[in-house]
Amino acid sequence: MARLIAIMSMSLDGFVADPEDGVTEVFGWQFTSGDVEVNTGGADAMTLRMSAPSAAHYLGLTSELGAVLTGRRTFDKAEGWGGNHAWGPAFVLTHHVPDGWPRAGSAVHFVTDGLDSAVQQAKDAAGEKAVGVHGADTIQQLLNAGLLDELAIDVAAVLLGSGVRLFDQLDAAPVLGDPSVVQGVGVTHLRYPVSRAEHPSPGTR
């Protein structure tokens, strides 16, 4: 069964976007940390330039993926990835399918019947590969439901002070295993196995 891997770039103080939903700061390592060129693929393909350790980490991780699961806000901010996400078929959690979608020739699908359905559809599409998950709200729902297998967090060497937090809506304290660590330039790549949460986290709702 396909594994679910949350993949997010995060500031040292825990933000995945600035107060205007901007991600330039947390993704800076993908564009300016070195000379190794990496083409993202997908309909909105970009050439990234990063350090050799970050490039190896990025290529290794993305080669594991066969589908994507995100929330609607990530889809909106990414302008639908041009209709085809680099990581494979994309499943977007939403209460309302956006106007003009789904589109012919696009592998972006909208899921309006809840988290479990989205997970099942994404896993089915990924087959033997893993599902990459984007979106702070979506990732926290998966953590709260005990459905996430791994947190792959790129900790960017920036402090934002405010913005979209990644871990502010946890109902429980997920148990994390020891991380693998890759040191880049201006970023540290951490991959934590996640165990099912078994006890309430202190001070949460």
Ligand X SMILES: NC(=O)c1ccc[n+]([C@@H]2O[C@H](COP(=O)([O-])OP(=O)(O)OC[C@H]3O[C@@H](n4cnc5c(N)ncnc54)[C@H](OP(=O)(O)O)[C@@H]3O)[C@@H](O)[C@H]2O)c1
Give the contacts of 133 (CB within 8 A, at least 6 positions apart): 4, 5, 6, 7, 68, 69, 70, 139, 142, 148
Decide: 188 and 181 in contact? Cβ < 8 Å: yes
Q: How far is the CB of 162 from ligand X (least distance, A)?
A: 12
E strand or H helix that includes residue 59: helix 52-63
Q: How far is the CB of 77 from ligand X (least distance, A)?
A: 4
β-pair partners for 38: 48
Q: How far is the CB of 54 from ligand X (least distance, A)?
A: 14
Q: Does 67 bind ligand X (CB under 6 A)?
A: no
Q: Does 164 bind ligand X (CB under 6 A)?
A: yes
Under DSSP, the state recorded for 79 is: G
Q: How far is the CB of 154 from ligand X (least distance, A)?
A: 7
Q: Does 126 bind ligand X (CB under 6 A)?
A: no
Q: Does 115 bind ligand X (CB under 6 A)?
A: yes
Binding site for ligand X (CB under 6 A): 8-9, 16-17, 21, 23, 26, 70-74, 77, 93-96, 114-115, 134-138, 141, 164
